[in-house]
Amino acid sequence: MPQALKPVVPPKDKWTGFLTGHLRQFAKGRYPFMIRMKETYGDFVQLQLGSNRTYQLTDLDAVELILKKDARNYSKNTPGFRLVAEVTGNGVFTENGDQWLKIRKVVQPFFSKAHHGHWNQIIQECSQNLVEQLSRELKPNQPMLLSHYMTQVALSVLG
C-alpha cells in the first residue's frame, strides 16, 4: 500500500451533480455502481452522496490499516455508522476509542481457536438455511445479487 493513498474523484452526475454529487448513479444500483467505481477508478474513490462526502476503499492493506492497525486515527462517527448504531445499538462494530477497546476485550475470547468448532457449526447451519432459502426463492439461471443474503447470513452467525 502506498504511504499516502489519495482518493480519485470521479465526475459527478451530469445534470444534477452540483447538488447531488454521485447520488443518482448510486441510487440506480449501489453494488453495480461500487463495482464500476473500483474497476474504473481504482482502490480509493471519493464520492459525494448528496451533501455527504464518503469514500470507497478496496485496497486490503489500507482496509487493515484503518480497521486494525491504526483504528484510533479513524472515527466511526459518520452518518452511516450512526444509522447502523440506531439499528444495532452501540457495540464493537459501531463504538470508537476506549469504549470500543473495552467491548473488543470482552468479545475477543469468543473468536479464539478454542471456539472454532462452535463457530463452524453455526456457520454451517446458517449457510444451510441460506441454501434452502435460495432454493425456494430462485429459479434456475436467474441472476441474483447476493449482498442482501450474505448480510443476512453474517448477522445470523453473529446473532
Take residue 16 and report the three cell numbers written for it.
Answer: 444534477
Per-run averaged pLDDT (10 residues), the chain, 159 residues:
74 92 92 94 94 90 83 78 81 80 84 83 92 87 80 82
Residue type, position 138, single letter: L
Q: Which SS3 state, helix, strand or coil, does residue 54 take?
A: strand
Residues 6+ apart with CB under 8 A from 149: 130, 133, 134
pLDDT of residue 114: 84
Domain ranges (residues) in the chain: 1-74, 75-108, 112-159
| pLDDT of 3 | 54
